[in-house]
Amino acid sequence: MRHTATLLLGLGLCACTTPDPAQVQILHDGSDLGARAYQLLTADSDAPDAEATLLAESLQRSLARQGYRQGGSDAPLLIRYRLTTASQPLTWSVDAPPPGPLGPYQAIHRFEDVRGLLHLRVTDRQERLLWEGAARTELSPDRHRRDQLERAVDTLVSRMPPAR
């Protein structure tokens, strides 16, 4: 019984410390977008080309799961997206530097903390705002950036009204 309680407590603590992949904010909520076909447009973005391609593909997959389909240049919905990033240097020092001839500078580690803001704006052809939302997410460490970006896209698009 004691081991079970310890295990449950440990699982509860792990669940509490797992960060939310994206913090979503709905800026304009439309209950029904009125169409299924969309044209995907990018706004000014500071994402590198490879990341912009990944973002567009991830958006297309997530929108397809919501019932939307990509149309041509005459699609009734225009979906604009933008990814902006901000980075901040992090320095982590080890209390006791390792012994050795190279000195204590080995014990200082420098990291980059990168955060992203994904913004989606859905309008009709007359530029009337139908839905708008934003998702903040961590984009560091770099090896997890792709997964974190995809989770942010999925989380944000899942808050859009499904296509009818």
Q: Both tokens of residue 24?
A: 């979503």
Q: What is the pLDDT along the chain (164 residues), one digit of tens a residue?
A: 555 555 445 555 444 444 455 699 999 988 778 889 999 998 766 667 777 888 999 999 999 999 999 998 899 999 999 998 888 887 666 656 556 666 555 556 677 888 899 999 999 999 999 999 999 998 888 888 899 999 999 999 999 998 87
Question: Domain spanning 20-95+103-158 has what CATH number?
Answer: 3.30.160.670
Task: Check: CB of residue 159 under 8 Å from CB of residue 120.
Answer: no
Phi first, then psi: give them for residue 83, nearest 5 degrees.
Answer: -120, 120
Q: Return the ∠ at Cα 148 (arms to 22 and 132), rounded to 5°.
A: 45
pTM, 2 dp: 0.74
